[in-house]
Amino acid sequence: MRTLAVFQPPNFTSCSSSSSSIPQLSVSPVSFLHINHPNKTLILNKKTNFENQSSAYPSSHRSRLLVPRSQKQPENNVSEERDEMFDDLFDKYGKVVYSSSDQKPPTDEADDDAECLAFAIAMAKEASEVKAADIRLLFVKPLVYWTRFFIIVTAFSRPQIYAIASRIKDLAEEQYNKVPTGDFKPNSWTLLDFGDVVIHIMLPPQREYYNLEDFYANATSIDLPFESQSSPRN
């Protein structure tokens, strides 16, 4: 029998392209529909039309929005129609994200984490070469299902945002054969999504207002080796 689990994330309203207008943050009942099949776990993946959602949290994550759950079904109303509804949803939108046959052993997961960490550190170092400030690397894998690491950096102008994003994209493609998704325009909050590593480049007002470090306070902060190497010695 299939079961439902609902996750309700925050709803980020649009990131304004004007630095004088800071986007607003609100929480709304956006629900993710998660279906457990006897042999696999399914997540329904479809762009939705929540209020203000089309211009919400930076564009690469709009595709991560899932089909909203409507009204809670009575617990005793388990019927063939319900099974047919699930089958229909799966046929239209279903995407297999896990099955018992392809689950990675812990050692492989650790290797993947280490590989992604090395990539993240390289991207953070590249940002520092373009004078990005207050660089933070967070291990968010235990908190979210869609990535492993966040990099959060501050830039002080749109040209600097463009320079940071361009250098990161070039390095990722040339040395790691990775191409990010996201809105590459130098907005006040520009996001580069490499899948396992998501990079946030923000102007100071947006960095202070959204305070992602506080929002993901339970994430593990990773020390950046290049920062300690460049620190003056006593």
- What is the three-class DSSP state of 227? helix
- What contacts 86, CB < 8 A, 6 or more positions away? 2, 35
State both tokens at 180: 């990010």
- The predicted pLDDT at position 139 comes to 96
**pLDDT of 38-71, one tens digit each?**
443 344 443 333 333 334 455 444 444 333 333 4
Confidence of residue 87 (pLDDT cuts 50, 70, 90): low
Quote the CA–CA distance of 148 and 139 in Å, as a whole number: 6
Alpha helices in 12-134 (DSSP H): 80-93, 106-129
**What's the pLDDT band for 112 if we cut at 50, 70, 90?**
confident
What pLDDT does 53 receive?
Answer: 37
What pLDDT, on the 0 to 100 scale, is given for residue 188? Answer: 94
Question: Two tokens at 56?
Answer: 């919400």
**Of the candidates 191, 162, 212, 172, which has an alpha carbon nearest to the alpha carbon of residue 63?**
191
For the chain, where do the domains classified as CATH 3.30.460.10 start and end? Answer: 106-230
The fold adopted by the segment(s) 106-230 is Beta Polymerase; domain 2 (3.30.460)
Other CB atoms within a 10 A radius of the CB of residue 163 amount to 19
On the 0-12 / 13-18 / 19+ scale of CB atoms within 10 A, 65 is buried
> Helix, strand, or coil here: 96?
strand
182-194 average pLDDT score: 89
**Confidence category of residue 109, pLDDT binned at 50, 70, 90:** confident
List pLDDT tens digits, range 146-158. Answer: 999 999 999 999 9
β-strand pairing of 25-26 with 11-12 = antiparallel
Closest CA to 114 of 80, 96, 139, 77: 139
The mean-pLDDT minimum among 92-101, 102-111, 183-192, 199-208 falls in: 92-101
pLDDT at 20: 40
Q: Helix, strand, or coil here: 80?
A: helix
For residues 13 and 111, the model is more confident at 111
**Overall average pLDDT of the 107-132 stretch:** 91
Neighbouring C-alpha atoms within 13 Å toward the C-beta of 152: 21
The Cβ of residue 137 has, within 10 Å, a number of other Cβ atoms equal to 22
pLDDT band, very low/low/confident/very high, at 214 (cuts 50, 70, 90): very high
Q: What percent of the chain has pLDDT over 90?
A: 45
Rounded to whole angstroms, how far apart are CA atoms 6 and 1?
17
**Whether 167 contacts 130, CB under 8 Å:** yes
